[in-house]
Amino acid sequence: MRKSFDEMPVEMQDEGLESRSAEFGEMVISHVRLPARFDPSPFFEVLPDGVCPVPHWGRVLEGEIVLRYADGTEETTRAGEFFYWPAGHTFITGDAGVVWMDVSPADESRRVDELLGM
């Protein structure tokens, strides 16, 4: 199974923001572009505890992103770095925005998409 970038459905698109994803078996692959200083906290208010309950594995392709975890810790992932972001996080993008690709469990991702109205 394979898809080109252009074949991946667009979930969200606005100025400087684009999210594409496609399911592959039990996983979903996403490509996300977000503008500078983007903070999804207002959108995450509908999620349990206001944080993303889905784990993600991937790589930041451009820019940087600061992950904020439910326990109060933070970590920055920069362009060229691979990552594992466990469930229980939110984030804010860096001054130049961020582009990343990640893989996540499809069932959990679908539940979050439903809560976010996607």
Identify the CATH number of the domain in which residue 43 sits. 2.60.120.10
Alpha carbon distance 115, 112 (integer Å): 5
Residue 61 lies in a domain: yes
Q: What is the rounded end-to-end Cα distance, in angstroms, of the chain?
A: 24
Residue 63 lies in a domain: yes
> What total number of domains does the chain contain?
1
31-57 per-position pLDDT tens digit? 999 999 999 999 888 888 889 999 999
pLDDT band at residue 117, thresholds of 50, 70 and 90? confident
Residue 15 lies in a domain: no
Alpha carbon distance 67, 88 (integer Å): 10
Report the Cα 78 to chain-centroid distance in Å.
14
Residue 39 lies in a domain: yes
- Is residue 91 within 8 Å of residue 70, measured between CB atoms? no
Torsion sign (Cα): 7, 24, 113, 68: negative
**Predicted TM-score (pTM) of this structure:** 0.90
55-85 per-position pLDDT tens digit? 999 999 999 999 999 899 999 999 999 999 9
For residue 29, which amino acid is it? I
What's the whole-number average pLDDT of the chain?
Answer: 93
Report which of 110, 116, 83, 114 is spatially closest to residue 98, judged by C-alpha positions: 83
Torsion sign (Cα): 81, 31, 34, 39: negative
Q: Give the structural domain span for 75.
A: 20-115
pLDDT band at residue 11, thresholds of 50, 70 and 90? confident
Alpha carbon distance 30, 11 (integer Å): 10
Residue 60 lies in a domain: yes
Residue 25 lies in a domain: yes
Residue 10 lies in a domain: no
Residue 29 has pLDDT above 90, yes or no: yes
